[in-house]
């Protein structure tokens, strides 16, 4: 069931979790605001359980990193969880260098993300 389809993100319900797909190549200021709003609207009714497909991302500036951290905090504060999957190797390196891989759960693929969400 499709929950959201926009220029920036698409979301569907898979089991008891929302699978969101980032549809832009970078999360800058404009994208970060829209993504946080649209993803929040999609996951709130389903317990804030979000598996986020980042396969389209090729660039993640600091504002985008901040958006992911904020989304993670919001999910946790509402009793849910954020799991990011299909992250490009160079972006994963940035996440590791900034130690954000210790804050946000990152896995290889969609199946693993859904299993992690339980």
Tens digits of pLDDT across the chain (118 residues): 678 788 999 999 999 999 999 999 999 999 999 999 999 999 999 999 999 999 999 999 999 999 999 999 999 999 999 999 999 999 999 999 999 999 999 999 999 999 999 8
Residue 62 has a pLDDT of 92
On whether residue 71 sits in a domain, the answer given is yes
pLDDT (0 to 100) of residue 80: 97
Is the residue at 93 inside a domain?
yes
Residue 80 lies in a domain: yes
Domain extent for 97: 2-108
pLDDT at position 3, please? 81
Q: What pLDDT, on a 0 to 100 scale, did the predictor assign at position 48?
A: 97
According to DSSP, the residues that pair with 85 across neighbouring strands are 53, 107
User: What is the reported pLDDT for 118?
Assistant: 86
Element (H, E) at 9: strand 9-14
Q: How many domains does the chain have?
A: 1
Task: Quote the pLDDT of residue 4.
Answer: 77
Q: What is the CATH number of the domain that holds 13?
A: 3.30.750.24
């Amino acid at each position: 069931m499709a929950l959201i389809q926009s220029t920036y993100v698409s979301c569907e319900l898979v089991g008891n979790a929302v699978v969101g797909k980032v549809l832009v190549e970078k999360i800058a200021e404009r994208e970060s605001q829209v993504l946080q709003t649209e993803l929040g609207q999609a996951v709130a009714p389903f317990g804030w359980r979000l598996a986020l497909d980042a396969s389209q991302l090729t660039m993640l500036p600091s504002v985008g990193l901040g958006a992911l951290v904020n989304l993670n905090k919001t999910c946790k504060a509402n009793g849910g969880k954020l799991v990011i999957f299909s992250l490009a190797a160079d972006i994963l390196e940035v996440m590791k260098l900034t130690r954000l891989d210790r804050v946000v759960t990152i896995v290889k693929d969609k199946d693993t993300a859904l299993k992690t969400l339980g």
